[in-house]
Amino acid sequence: MIKSKVFQYADQMLAKGNPPTLEAICTETGLGVDEVKPLLALWQAELEQRISFDKEQFIPDVPDSLNAAFSRIWQQAVEEAVSRVMLESKSIGQNVDEIRRLSDDTAKEMQYRQQELENRLREQSKKNEDLLTQNKSLEAEMSVLKSGLTSETTQRKQEEQIRSNVEHELAHLRKAFEDSKRTFDQRIKDEQRHALEVVSKADVDVRYYKNALEKLRDEVGKKESALTKEIHDQKAELAKKDVKTETQRTQIRSQEEELKVLKQEATTQSRELARCNAALLAETNRTKRLEDKGRELDNEIKRLNQKQLHAASDWGRRENLLRTQLKEKEEELMRLQSRIASLEKRMITQDEEIRRLNARL
């Protein structure tokens, strides 16, 4: 059943002008490849026996004249096919001889090529050995360069660590400088404010004492003018009395009691004058003490000004010291940056050398 089915599909495909193939028959019949393959080989083996080229072909229900004409045409076609098959077999034989000659030539050529390839293989093996030696030397150089690169990287990391430490210290110093500057400015401001308060208080005291001194001077002047006026009056009276004594010498004896009284009055007036002089001296001493106190206040003001100048100079000296320290740190940072730049250039040159070595490899 399967055989007839396979043969039927193969005959149909051959009748259509298509050579029967294993895949087409499998798709048409739905059978497996293992089942169809031996049946297809059997069909190809039996194909020559099943096809007959009879000289007389009889077609039923057709007139004899047409059958004869068709048989002649069929015979001519068969003869022509046979002649073509013979020619093709001869040409195939000639082609086979040519193919044999060509195969011999190609075999010889392949032997020559094989020898050349063997020679090339030997040369290539030598070159490979040379390349292996070069590769080993380059690997040694690469290991040396890698060790140098690792050392450079470690050194660079150390430099970066040092740089970070220096930057941290610099930031800390800047912060400390700013804090100290802020505290110093605040202290200077406080001292200046305190000094200004002291100076203002001293100015107020000086004004008060100056006003008191002026008042005392006015009072002393008034008292001196009054005393001088009294002295002049007394002198005038004494002069008058002297004139009277000169004119009244004759009456002196009679007026001794009055003279004694006058002398007593003069003594009392002299006492009052002495008391006034003592008061005047006390007032002058008081004015001197006030002047001395004013001088002391002036000296205190000068001392405060000198203290302020000393504080300003001390602050300037500290500021210069901090600036010099900051400048030294900045110079050290510049040196570290230049060193880092040189190390980076060196690493770049080593990277380029490694690339060249890799390119050689």
Angle (nearest 5°) at CA 298 between 292 and 299: 90
- Determine the pLDDT at residue 58: 47
Q: How confident is the model at residue 245 (pLDDT cuts 50, 70, 90)?
A: low
Average pLDDT over residues 151-164: 83
Decide if pLDDT at 165 tops 80: yes
Cα separation values, 36 from 5, 47, 124, Å: 10, 16, 52
- Determine the pLDDT at residue 255: 62
pLDDT, the chain, mean: 77
Q: How confident is the model at residue 55 (pLDDT cuts 50, 70, 90)?
A: very low
Tokens 């001197």 map to which residue?
288
DSSP state at residue 287:
H
Query: What is d(CA 79, CA 51) in angstroms, rounded to the nearest whole number?
Result: 15
Tokens 């800047």 map to which residue?
174
Residue 53 or residue 277, greater confidence: 277
Tokens 């068969």 map to which residue?
78
Query: What is the identity of the amino acid at 47?
Result: L
Query: What is d(CA 50, CA 221) in angstroms, rounded to the nearest whole number?
Result: 176
Lowest-confidence region among 78-87, 108-117, 221-230: 78-87
Query: What is d(CA 166, CA 94) in angstroms, rounded to the nearest whole number?
Result: 96
Decide if pLDDT at 196 tops 70: yes
**Burial group, residue 354, by CB count within 10 angstroms (0-12, 13-18, 19+):** middle
Decide if pLDDT at 187 tops 70: yes
DSSP state at residue 184:
H
- Smallest Cα–Cα separation from 206: which of 150, 110, 290? 290
Query: What is d(CA 161, CA 166) in angstroms, rounded to the nearest whole number?
Result: 8
How much is the pTM?
A: 0.23
Decide if pLDDT at 89 tops 70: no
* Number of Cβ within a 10 Å radius of residue 114: 11
Query: What is d(CA 237, CA 280) in angstroms, rounded to the nearest whole number?
Result: 24
Query: What is d(CA 135, CA 185) in angstroms, rounded to the nearest whole number?
Result: 71
Q: What percent of the chain is predicted at pLDDT more than 70? A: 84
- Determine the pLDDT at residue 361: 62
* Number of Cβ within a 10 Å radius of residue 221: 10
Angle (nearest 5°) at CA 52 between 27 and 46: 45
Angle (nearest 5°) at CA 293 between 289 and 296: 140
Tokens of 316: 């300037």
Decide if pLDDT at 60 tops 60: no
Decide if pLDDT at 247 tops 60: yes
Cα separation values, 152 from 14, 155, 162, 334, 345, Å: 82, 5, 15, 20, 12
Query: What is d(CA 196, CA 304) in angstroms, rounded to the nearest whole number?
Result: 9
- Smallest Cα–Cα separation from 187: which of 303, 318, 297? 318
Query: What is d(CA 310, CA 314) in angstroms, rounded to the nearest whole number?
Result: 6
Q: Could you write out the DSSP letters of every residue in 239-276?
A: HHHHHHHHHTGGGTTTTHHHHHHHHHHHHHHHHHHHHH
Select, from the ranges 46-50, 240-244, 290-294, 350-354, the one with the highest average predicted confidence (pLDDT). Answer: 290-294
Lowest-confidence region among 30-34, 48-52, 116-120, 228-232: 48-52
- Using DSSP, state whether 80 is helix, strand or coil: helix
Cα–chain center distance at 53: 98
